[in-house]
Amino acid sequence: MSDLPRKAVTRTAKLAALPLGFAGRATWGLGKRIGGKSAEIVGRELQQRTAEQLFKVLGELKGGAMKFGQALSVFESALPEEVAGPYRAALTKLQEAAPPMPSAAVHAVLAERLGEDWRELFLEFEDKPAAAASIGQVHRAVWHEGQEVAVKVQYPGAGEALLSDLTQLSRFAKLLGPLIPGMDIKPLIAELRDRVSEELDYGLEAQAQRVHAEEFAEDPDVLVPQVLHQCEQVLVTEWIDGIPLSEVIADGTDEQRDRAGQLLARFLFSGPARTGLLHADPHPGNFRLLPPEEGAEDGAEVWRLGVLDFGTVDRLPGGLPATIGDSLRMTLDGEADAVYELLCEEGFVKETVELEPDAVLEYLLPIIEPAQVDAFTFTRGWMRSQAARIADPRSPAHQLGKQLNLPPSYLLIHRVTLSTIGVLCQLGATVRLREELETWLPGFLPEPDAEMEAAETEAADAGKEGESAAEA
């Protein structure tokens, strides 16, 4: 494969083969059943073959198809266990790797963007990619000033491919829907399509990464690599070593899982408050757990979170909307009418819809269970129970959920929050989420009472007057 399959006919044919492949495997399964194999064994083999084909096609196409696959992968925790098993390995593999772009194509991009003498910018350059993602791949190198760097090179034709893939995938939304019970796939694809133009712009990515790197430069918990050079289709940043979060999910210790989960939650809520930007691509491939530095004391608390890929961000100049914190606080306090009124004001309940405030409260409370306690253990089982509760057409939660609306300004925040929770459940981490909400989420802690503030001010003023009189 010398390049992204750019011809629409070729890419459409690959994607169109997915439903045909599903049908063919169903026929194969029926034949096996007739041959005497049990339904359970046949079902497991069928799911395995489906997973292999689905993610082989998504990975080969890169572009929007693979971006969609990565978006699916963070929801793996919500899949019923009998379905999740065969998909898990394929999903995790997709988060970290894809078929690489040949060296000649990489060199051509570098020559075009950095100049024919591009090799003079590097003391060393590894042709074998260290990582491959949806719109580009990363090469390890040594910059001419001596720093180890990550060189991100965009696939030729990535923009055209992204938009084409997502348009095609939207046609198969119903077919792909069963992969995430309780979630409408079509809006997810539409949202991804709206964001791809920003992700293709390495100038915007470099700007967002520089803002984060500056803000977190001295942070003991989070490391963001510095940007050293940026031009069209090429981004050069500091290299950081560490354990990919996918490896922590697969084989990490309890201490590593809990530390990674705590820092992931901290970064999710502190980032917007500190930078006015929300990192909006929280799949495990974009995070590393960094071991203690040499000379540091041993222990879980000195592990740090390395954050990569700032191609997709939500711009929130005032941080996360206070409405989120207000509604969470009032829900926890059982203020059904106040919560309902706020949701109506923000457009979560359309003017044409009337709901029972107490029913809305009952719908929300299980979802925000992690914020009710000092520490909460996120598990796949908990995630599946939430997905099943909302997905079951017979349940009151499903009926109410269908009547709620998600305003466009909250789409990305909603997706990032759900995705992060999905990763926390994959980690099985015990997280002090309430502590992060109290520290970073506007509106979560009640504003001081105005009368109490006035009384405190009056008392302070009286104290100052007394001091002045005593001095006189």
Chain segment 440-463, per-residue pLDDT in tens: 999 999 877 644 555 566 666 666
pTM of the model: 0.73
Would you state the pLDDT for residue 451? 46
Tell me whether residue 39 is in a domain.
no
Does any domain span residue 322? Answer: yes
Q: Is there a domain that residue 266 lies in?
A: yes
Answer whether residue 335 shows pLDDT above 50: yes
Alpha helices in 35-157 (DSSP H): 39-61, 63-73, 81-96, 103-114
Tens digits of residue pLDDT in 22-49: 444 343 333 443 444 444 444 445 555 6
The pairing of beta strand 234-238 with beta strand 148-154: antiparallel
305 occurs within a structural domain: yes
Identify whether 348 is part of a domain: yes
Residue-range definition of the domain harbouring residue 287: 243-449
Residue 108 has pLDDT above 70, yes or no: yes
Task: State residue 464's pLDDT score.
Answer: 59
One-letter amino acid for residue 225 of the chain: P
Residue 175: count of CB within 10 angstroms of its CB: 13
Domain count, the chain: 1
Asked if residue 197 is part of any domain, the answer here is no
Cα three-residue angle 282-70-97, rounded to 5 degrees:
105
Residue 338 lies in a domain: yes
Question: Looking at the predicted structure, is the pLDDT value of residue 117 above 50?
Answer: yes
Name the maximum alpha-carbon separation found in the chain.
104
Domain for residue 431, yes or no? yes
